[in-house]
Amino acid sequence: MHVNAPASTPPSPRLFPGEGAGLAACFVFLLWANAITPLWADDYCRTMPFSLPTIVRIVWGNYNFWTGRWFTTLATFVVLDLRPYGGLAVFAVLNAGIFTFLVHVVAHLCWQLAGRPPLPRARYGAMQCVMVFLMLWWLPRTIGEVALWKTGAIGYLWPMAGEMWVLARIVTGRTDMRAMQYGAVFLIATFLEPLSLLLTLLLAGVALKAWRQGVLPPWALLCAHAAGTLVLGVAPGNYVRMHTMTPSPLPDRLDGLLGNLGSLFDPFWLPFVALLAVGVFMDRGRHPFPACLRAGRGWVPCVLALAYMACLLMFPREALAARVSFPASVLLACYLACLLARSVATPGFGRIMAVGGGMLVVLHLAIVVPDLTLLARIAHERDAATRAQVARDLPVVLPRVTWGPRHKLLYVRKDIIFVGINPDPHNMLTACYAQAMGASSVRSAP
């Protein structure tokens, strides 16, 4: 699979026309969404008085007895333990910036893969950037779990943004880096096992191909990434945790993987596919059907998405949460972004994209803003009721808040969840919330 750009290819512009305005709009929305989203689920299990020695001891214990994602765990503890000192405000800015950076990387990577088509005018460039953001938001099945939930964002959004940056460097042939960048690559590779393995294998293939062609292979980049993958993969905690799960033979894992693969596609694809179908049809003179569907090298992210899903066979079926498919969703969104990059250069499509994209922006805000506001109100009322009962030295009983058949609060009309308080006061998440709020016990009741 050819992913290297020729050495003579000039670098892409730092920002496309209008991209700055588009990224700014995305950042403002994401900053608001991060600021208004409350803590939930495992977030409360990571809150305690800040003590770096204690955090390091817990992280080391998790590495040996629960998970090899030591840097993920360390970052999560630091963010949440600094909560009383403004840590959540810092997280909101940082997380919004990382998602915005992902939008930027995807837009530029897909422009390269699409064959570097002519750039649009600024007003259309801004909408193109927003369209990439909307695809990254709506195509993943559980965007709230991987982009707004503090623990989930650090574990999934951050590594995906980092690995897409690495992939962009591979595609453009910019594999020579500074020492600090190699250190960042090592840390990026310690986040998420299947994604880290996939990029290490891709880098190994690129290095082997360069060596066979008599070109200097990117040994330093490969070694930095492979070292991170190795540190992540050999952690004793991975195997301890696996033994606590239900045995899962290969056919069982394959059945679970096929179910997870089906979750990548849902009706939220339809408006984006319909809009891009118009662009492909209008561009049929320059790129006839069916060759246009390759979108230059836009097929590459599709292959990587399938390879990533195959890497999930390393997990027992019990561990295949829907959020694990997030990287595959991003890679599939890259394919659509490649089609968009080629279509936007077609005369007349810019106006259609502006109208269609504007309608999608209105729909996005009409759905997300009320739901996140509702979520924030529920969390505020819950915390206020908890503090009032703690002040009276009472066991805390909270009204049960559920929505949907799984007894979880759904917002943004997708499988995006806020885990409510459990009726069982000994439930791990409920106990973590009680400890974080200083309550003797917490439970929910109808």
Measured over the CA atoms of residue 401, residue 377, residue 435 and residue 393, the dihedral's sign is negative
C-alpha dihedral (349, 355, 360, 365), degrees to nearest 10 = 140
Q: pLDDT tens-digit profile of 19-72?
A: 999 999 999 999 999 999 999 888 999 998 999 999 999 999 999 999 999 999
Please tell me the distance from the alpha carbon of residue 65 to that of residue 89, in angstroms, as a whole number.
32
* Cα first-last separation, the chain: 57
Question: Judging by DSSP bridges, how do beta strands 417-418 and 409-410 pair with one another?
Answer: antiparallel
Q: With 90 as the cut, is the pLDDT of residue 156 above it? A: yes
Q: pLDDT tens-digit profile of 236-283?
A: 999 998 888 888 898 999 988 888 887 788 788 999 999 999 999 988
Identify the three-state secondary structure at position 61: helix
Q: pLDDT tens-digit profile of 382-430?
A: 999 999 999 998 889 998 776 554 444 444 445 445 566 888 899 888 8
Q: Supply the pTM of this predicted model.
A: 0.93
pLDDT value at residue 419: 61
